[in-house]
Amino acid sequence: MTVTVRFAPSPTGKIHVGNVRAALWNWLLARKQGGGFVLRIDDTDQGRSTKAYEEAIKADLAWLGLDYDETVNQSDRFDRYDAARDRLITEGLLYPCYETADELDRKRKLQRARSLPPVYDRAALSLSEAERQAFEAEGRRPHWRFKLSHAPAVWTDLIRGETSVDTASVSDPVLIREDGMYLYTLPSCVDDIDLGITHVMRGEDHVTNTGVQIEIFKALGGEPPAFAHHSLLVGADGGNLSKRLGSLSIEAMRDDGLEPAAITSLLAKLGTADPVEPARDLAALAQSFDFDRIGRAPARFDTSELEALNAKLLHEMPFGDVEQRLGDMGVSEAIWNAARGNITRISDVAHWMTVITGEIDPVIEDKALTDEAANLIENELNEESWTVLTNALKEKTGAKGRKLFMPLRLALTGEARGPEMAALFPLIGAEKARARFRGERA
C-alpha cells in the first residue's frame, strides 16, 4: 500500500505551531514511506475563507520545507459532496431537522437537569410530511443530521492503540447547516475516499469525530483510513496554548527571525521519546519518525527551547548556507565564522559587522594597558596576532587573566562579551585597533 496523507487547513486565518505539528508529522510519515502528501484547502466556508490566507498557508509550508504532491480546494468539489448527500438521503442515513438553536439548547438543559447525557433525541425522525411542510411554511429551513448506528465504532489507533467510541452516546452529527453549507465532516470523508488517503494523523480532540467518520466512510462505500491521534500542545506551564497563538503563528515566527529548521526540529520531537536536537535535514527527520516513539502525555511547547535550538543551529551553520541571506551586508566567511557563535538571529550579524568594520566608542578600563597595547600592535595582523599581543603585554605589564583580557576586549569592541578575540582582532585591523586602544572613536 502506498501511504497517502493530507494536511487540511482552513484559509480563515494564519497557521500556527499546533497546525504545523500535525502537518509536519504527516509529511514525515509520507516521506519516510515514499508516499504522497496532499494539501487540502478546506474552504467550504466561502464567507470566511480568503485567497490571501490560502496563499499565506502555502508560503508558510514552503518556508518550512514541507512540499506537497497535490493540492485540492474543497470549493471546487461541491458536486462530489452533493452526490454523497443525495446517496445518504436515499439510504435514509441523512435526515432533515427543524429545531432552532434555542430549542436544541433547551433540550440539552432539560436533559442535564434529569442527569441524562445531552444527546440529540432524534425527534425529527418522527415528523410527518405534514409537520415538515408546516415548518417549511413558517420559514424554517432544515439542518441535516447523519443517523448513527448506535453501535461501537472500533479501530486500532496507531498511537492510542485499541480505541472505541460508543456512537449511542453521541448526537447524530449535523453535516449540513440550515443555509445549505456543508460542515467539515462530510466533505472530509468524501475527499479522503476520492484522494485515496490511507492515514489520518491529527489531534486527540478528534477521537470522537473519528468514531462518527468511520460510519460515514462505510455508508459511502469507502474503506476508513488508518487513524493516529496525537496529544495536543500545551504551554510551558501546562496551560492552554491556544490563548497565545497570535505570537505563535508561523508568519510571526518568520518575521521574528527564527529559523525554519528550529521550528521543525522542535515540533518533530515534541511528545515523543526522542531527544530534541537541531536537525537541518528534513529527510533525516523523516527517517527517524516512528509511531512507537510517540507518547500520550500532552506535549509542552516552550519558546525558550525554541530560542535555544535556533541559536544552536546558527552556531553550527556553514557560511554557504547563509551567504545569500546576508545580502548586501558585506559579511565575509571569516566574519560569519567569527560572529555566528554569538548570535541568536541572522540579523544579529549586523551588530558584529559594526564592531568589526564600523565605528564604536571604545570603553577604556585600564588606560596604561591599552596605551601599551596600541604601541605593540604589528602592522599586519593574522590569526596568531592576538596571542602575540597578549603575551607581549603580560611580559611588559605583568597583567594576566581578567585584568589583561577584559580591558582589551572593552577597548576593541565596547562590550564585555562576544566572539573570540583571536578571530575578531585581525578582522578589525591594526589601524582601528590602535585608535580604539587609545580611546578614539574608530
Let me know whether 343 and 375 are in one domain. Answer: no
pTM to 2 decimal places:
0.91
Let me know whether 346 and 418 are in one domain. Answer: no
Let me know whether 345 and 394 are in one domain. Answer: no
Let me know whether 88 and 126 are in one domain. Answer: yes
Let me know whether 90 and 171 are in one domain. Answer: yes
What are the tens digits of pLDDT across the range 174-224?
Answer: 999 999 999 999 999 999 999 999 999 999 999 999 999 999 999 999 999
Query: Is residue 127 predicted with pLDDT exceeding 90?
Result: yes
Residue written as cell 440529540?
A: 120
- What confidence tier does 242 reach under pLDDT thresholds 50, 70, 90? low
Whether residue 394 is contained in a domain is answered as yes
Let me know whether 329 and 417 are in one domain. Answer: no
Q: At 138, which CATH number?
A: 3.90.800.10
Let me know whether 92 and 169 are in one domain. Answer: yes
Domain end, chosen from 329, 356, 383, is at 356
Let me know whether 346 and 387 are in one domain. Answer: no
Whether residue 5 is contained in a domain is answered as no
Residue 236, pLDDT score? 87
344-366: buried (b, 16+ CB within 10 Å) or exposed (e) per residue? eebebbeebbebbbeebebbbeb
Let me know whether 369 and 431 are in one domain. Answer: yes
Let me know whether 350 and 365 are in one domain. Answer: no
Domain end, chosen from 296, 330, 356, is at 356
Whether residue 220 is contained in a domain is answered as no
How many separate domains does the chain show? 3
In degrees, rounded to 5, the angle at the alpha carbon of residue 151 between the alpha carbons of residues 147 and 157 is 105
Let me know whether 336 and 407 are in one domain. Answer: no
- What confidence tier does 320 reach under pLDDT thresholds 50, 70, 90? very high
Whether residue 29 is contained in a domain is answered as no
Domain extent for 171:
80-150+165-176
Q: At 394, which CATH number?
A: 1.10.10.350
